[in-house]
Structure 1
Amino acid sequence: YINDVCRTLREEMKRAGIHAEVHAWQKHLASISRKLEYVPRQSNENPLSQLHDLVSFRILVDTDNECYLALGHIHALWRPKDGRIKDFIATPKLNGYQSLHTTVFCLHDCLAEIQIRTHDMQRTATYGIASFWYLKDRMGKEGSPNSWKLSYKEMVTWIEQLRQWQQELPESADEFVEAFKGDVFQDQIFVFTPKGEVKDLPRGSTPLDMAYRIHTDLGDHCAGARIITNMDESGCLVTRQVPLDYELKGGEIVALLTNPAVHPTRDWLHFARTNAARNKIRRYLKTYERESQQADASAPVPGCQTTTMTIHAQDRPGLFRDLTAIFADGGINIGSVSSTVQERSRAIISLSFHLPPSLKETLRALLHQIQALHEIEHVALEPHDDTF
């Protein structure tokens, strides 16, 4: 069985034009025993049937791109098991480990784990990060190949992700720490865009999390997603539209849907699963609510009429302050102000505001107070109202 699987994998990689090495190994009895301790006990199921890596296969290729290309061909050859795809290349483990892991129903419909990585990743996984720097130095003196430059870039991917989060959350160190703890230390899944790009996300993420991971503007106008996924045991691919709170599954192809009229609401805080997305939603709501409050101060309510008060007065220090204080005490918001100063310091001040019917009596009192101010010569209202 193992030889048949290895031969099939080698033929598939050769057919895809990928130079690859294929290896297989069986898990030791001690490893099986330790892993069984964490398997939930089912009365009607053999615990061994829940272990999918009793036999594992490893494919070694030359580049990162070939890792993902090989993964695509394997999934085309054999149906993957839902929730068993892990991308440690885009999101390395804390110890620097990088690889693609997938579990598929291969020959005879038996589950098997397949690991895909480059030769450099295999060297680091076997000998540790120290070996990476040691060999890099040795090969650098003898003429380092370009693969080491790529490998160096891979090793700092995790640090680059931290830098991006720090830039996205500049307002509060607490926000950064919470996003770091909540998003980095979770199990990861990866999904594909329609263009074949891989996006890694914490398990449980929604289309909203994916949209905000790509770009803030995309998240602010996300209206849902269209996904391509396996729907049944036959392995048939089905396309369907899902809402913002849909939980993405590893290996799905996700096309995000946008609408310029859509914008974040407080409900979105319940749809997003990652702290980074929630922080961006809160930031939008904070800005939007502040702008709405400013607009409400000058926006008319139903039944209001726009009124302009023109005041002729002898200009003096504190005149404008006295006028605005009277309006503030009366609860009337001034929408716009204009003023001119003519000869002999004569000032003409125009104040526009929205006057609801309930405040007409208040305006009458305000009018008398303004006329009683020092240096006020004449006050006129437009539109004219004989009741004043």
Structure 2
Amino acid sequence: MSPPSSALHEAPATAGKRAPAGLHAAHAPTPPAPPSDAAAASFDALTGKLDYMDAADIRRVRDAYRFADEAHLGQFRASGEPYITHPIAVAGLCAEWKLDVQAIMAALMHDAMEDCGVTKPELIERFGAPTADLVDGLTKLDKLRFSTREESQAESFRKMLLAMARDVRVILIKLADRLHNMRTMDAVEPAKRSRIATETQDIYAPIAHRLGLNQTYRELQELSFKHLHPWRQAALSKAVLKARGYRRDIVDRVQRDVEKAFAQAKLEAQVFGREKTLFSIYRKMREKHLTFAQVNDVFGFRIVVSTLPECYLALGVLHQLYKPMPGRFKDYIAIPKGNGYQSLHTTLVSPLGTAVEFQIRTEPMHAVAEKGIAAHWLYKTHGQAQEAQRVGAMWLQSLIDIQDETRDASEFLEHVKIDLFPDEVYVFTPRSKILALPRGATPVDFAYAIHSDVGDHCVAANVNGEPVALRTVLRSGDVVEIISAPNARPNPAWLNFVCTGRARSRIRHYLKNMELEESRDLGEKMLAQALRAKGLELPGDEPLEAQIWQQLLRWSGNRARDDLFTDIGLGRKIATIVATRLARLLAEHGVKPDALTLTKGRFAVDDVAPAQGHVLIDGSEGASVQLAPCCRPIPGDTIVGNLGRGEGLVVHTAECSVGKRLLERDSERWMGVDWAEQPIRAFETAVTLLVRNGKGVLAQVASSVSHAEADITHIDMGNDPAAETTELTLLLSVRDRLHLAEVMRTLKRSAPVLRVARVKP
């Protein structure tokens, strides 16, 4: 990156000077830079890297340089260098990836909007909309006010990631920007240095890895390690230098043996020795609790050949030369990594007994391995680069999908972080298509990776032809088949085991929408019932009625009618109080109670409810109506409903002690509920059994329950050591109270059962 020292600082072409709107965090009002900085601040520092562009494009880049130079005039970095040296260095890194003219121009002006008061319309007029969009995507949201720094940071990341999903050049420029900042961070104060390094390690390095920019990924990791743990980095660096002296002989001998073997096999290959990065050594020592001396694969080799078949020939030559270590061979050519990386990996035992790793690949594979998605510009015609571009585009599309389902910036960032650390497994669809999923993925993650609709309607899965539970962890090589049903819906319990950001955000999005929809319907039903008890009907959409709604919404503080219904359904507002206010407003506009409506509200059985203020429970209510876990009501029990604050309607049995305490505390929040004549599903309730210990007791209990046509959904045996008798708590799924009585009679007839009782709070 060091420029020729003889280059002179080029004066901006325009006459007027822009007054800087604000100094960058790294700016400092420093005296003019020393002469040695002039070269780095000149356009000549960049021109040598633009040899792949034509003269017209270089002129456009020069115009962007002049614009940026003028905008940053008078600004200095913390090191004392003119600020323009930073945009030039970022543009230089982008030029090494052979990015197009718009990206190089955006790299030069990437801080102009944020730090210098330049507007987007100004950039569009001068440099065109595509370049202005790139600069805008790179600009943080510091102008908006956020309650916390974390919230501001999360929103900035969301903006950048979505801009990157629309145009991958945004993240390539941002990674170049971050790489140069990390290289030159010694002048920054320690607290800020630590924060930036942590952010780099958590977000930017994993994004570089996800997009296959391994060279950038490794350097960002190394620099983060250096700034976060300087003492550990220095100690490890000293140990590696010392070991390099000890192991130099081994490395030289292995390299000579390998080159000789390839020459004898008449196979042209480039052999490069490589050393593990300090951070990867440190991470291995920490994760596997090893000392430095126990990390025996510090050195390895990279073999680059001409064609794909030669990769496998080279592998054969190596395996003839040294013994391979069992279980340490990976074919990432046949099954590429999720970021498009392709290579053969094998670990061999050297003549001195040490493990040596070899990576074998072709030249285009090597370009993709080092440059990832940026190799699209370097090798536009090569298949491997196109594959990296396709894989990158798939991940970027998943960002847009997650954004559509997640409006909260912190939640969005949490979902993205999940996807940034994918120690991957490779699984197959029944049609032999390969999918890469994070380690720990389940059939539900697989279903959502195929399509959101497949995930939403998933009911079961077969792995390798055998039925498995949906929470089963998938392994590489599994063939997964998803069984779906049109009426199936996502289960909240899935959030306990799914591990991809896409699956998690989709399930949360669906559950939130369902809960709000159900709460809205319940709230409308409850307000209609409460108003009907006063002899009135809910107003419609006529002009006068719409005016009454507007007055009611101003009183309640809601923006829209649906929001008011949702608040009532969730228990945030009480239906009878809202109905009283609405009745008063109707009376002010001359609407009087109707005797027929009053009678219907009190006595008729209609589509809303059987009696005043009652809601029917049939098992189809969903998230807005919950059966209290303390008393677990079932059809046949006398029940009452409590409007919990923000929880919707919670149904208790009439004799539930927990419910009685809530009633004493706030009687306004209680309303009548009843069972529908034909509930559509079974309901859970708990029973306790005192049983004699003996062989096959659980089998006999389960057989009795099954004989009574009920299901056991959970068994709790407590933590007490086994004695002559044991108390079991069974969670049973039954149709109603009569069915429960039949199950309890059947259990009493079972020989080992001494006592049966329903659990009551």
TM norm structure 1: 0.50
Structure number with greater CO (CA < 8 Å, separation at least 6) is 1
Q: Structure 1 or 2: larger helix share? A: 2
TM norm structure 2: 0.28
